[in-house]
Structure 1
């Protein structure tokens, strides 16, 4: 644990929505790198689904991530979290480690990645709302107006790209949205009391026994055809998105606050759409630059309003 983490007073933990102004630039950069890592999650999941079933993808990514996390904890001789941390760790595990990956993977069996981007388009707003309810934070009307506007732009763009018709897959996506918002917020709070990578590592290790049993069943029940895309996609969602991405994301939230960091995710759907074109061959309409500009304006307004 760093000197900064160990020196954080209890009152700062209780109001984690207030950013640490001594490192806003570093915190913003870390959160932005986390968003960049997450933007590849849906395309990588689509690759993995080319040769594996949804339950196999979800459980195998958890096993790989859990083994990596366990090795990191052992190498660092990290002590077990305090008893007061375990309830929040369970929320993080259920939201970001199990719930979101499983629900979005089930949706991506038939949904395009551009349609699934609706989830991450609305995630900043739900994360900020959850954090405000959880911590009692109060934000200005300008902050909320810009957040709602940005979410509306991204959601409308993604829905227009996919035809705008709600489907069964949308139920998976909206459920994933809710559980992930809770996981992000609790993870951001925990990252003020322990290093962000330890938050990620402990929740992965916590899920490892159940994930191993689930992987054994899924691999025997679902067809498996390993290709270069399948292996690359699985490795990315297990290591890049799930371990490294969450590590730097939680650390960024700990520095600049949950609400402000969550607004950076407004750019994530558009990044995902770009990766969908590059990696999956999906078409990007001329409306993308206009939506990107509108989203960047909303991000700027929320960042200024949060200050």
Structure 2
């Protein structure tokens, strides 16, 4: 009896330890991803002071992370994809390697990182919507109400910042959100066959025949600020690679439902990082919109989906 009690106690302790580690890794992943928008803006600059071409930032970061992924897959002895897995990898790459970085990069040339952070705040809810549609689930009316409220808040914020009109950059940001959400869903399906780290590595590796030539073709021919290269290094090593390792491992250890809740803080953290990094201004109305979006996303993620 005492032996059984010891075994149960050990199992309980291990589970609690894994849950804590998973949550900490999830928080670390969110912190790393929260810097993605400000660092993308730092790398590409603005219309008034352009730095690296947004296309180079998108293709170059994937090329760097892809070459690192080759080494990782070889060292871990990962198996090769087969059958329909190739199609899912290609679809995931279209969303998270090409769609999100390209559209985000061009958008933040025209709007500041604080603006982009608020609009992209609906990403967790958009992922839930696309996931529900892809899996043919039946979300509750409360879920759809939150999804529509989130979209209305984002469009309202964009119109307010655009002095009564929604700018093209806002359309690019919403397109980036859709691309990332679709890529996350297909990537999640692949995680049933591969470890989460191997999924992002294979996605990056199969993209290399496209990303490397395009990165070379769009490389800067004129000098740019050192800060732009620091921003590029960050999105290449952290946003495109290391961040996924922490995030996916956190989800696996701590549970997707529990750990994913911390993602709702990502846009607010992005806004806070943009102030010291880029010297952007955080006004009261922007904070109000950001908090409203976060609130809707938080409530929406708790609505039943059957």
Scaled to the shorter chain, the TM-score interval is: 0.7 to 0.9
Provide the residue aligned with 2:72 in structure 1.
72
- Given the two structures, how large is their TM-score scaled by the length of structure 2? 0.79
Please give the residue correspondences for 1:3-42 in structure 2 after superposition, counting only pairs within 5 Å: 30-42=25-37
1:284 aligned to 2:279? no
1:59 aligned to 2:54? no
8 Å Cα contact 2:58/2:97 also seen in 1? no
Provide the residue aligned with 1:210 in structure 2.
210
Gapped regions of structure 2 (runs ≥ 5): 1-16, 46-50
Provide the residue aligned with 2:38 in structure 1.
43
Please give the residue correspondences for 1:1-307 in structure 2 after superposition, counting only pairs within 5 Å: 30-50=25-45, 51-150=51-150, 152-153=152-153, 156-157=156-157, 160-161=160-161, 163=163, 165-219=165-219, 222-251=220-249, 256-257=255-256, 261=260, 264-287=262-285, 290-291=288-289, 293-295=291-293, 297-306=295-304
- Tell me the SS of whatever aligns to 1:83: coil
Provide the residue aligned with 2:8 in structure 1.
none
RMSD: 3.1
8 Å Cα contact 2:65/2:237 also seen in 1? yes
- Report deviation, 1:29: 5.1
- Report deviation, 1:43: 0.9
- Report deviation, 1:296: 5.0
Gapped regions of structure 1 (runs ≥ 5): 1-21
- Given the two structures, how large is their TM-score scaled by the length of structure 1? 0.79
- Report deviation, 1:123: 2.0
- Report deviation, 1:212: 1.3
8 Å Cα contact 2:122/2:297 also seen in 1? no
- With over 3 angstroms needed to count, the CA separation of the structure-2 counterparts of 1:139 and 1:26, relative to structure 1, is farther
- With over 3 angstroms needed to count, the CA separation of the structure-2 counterparts of 1:36 and 1:208, relative to structure 1, is same
* Matched positions, count: 284
- Report deviation, 1:289: 5.0
- Report deviation, 1:171: 3.2
- Report deviation, 1:35: 3.0
Q: What CA distance in whole angstroms lies between the structure 1 residues aligned with 2:298 and 2:279?
A: 31
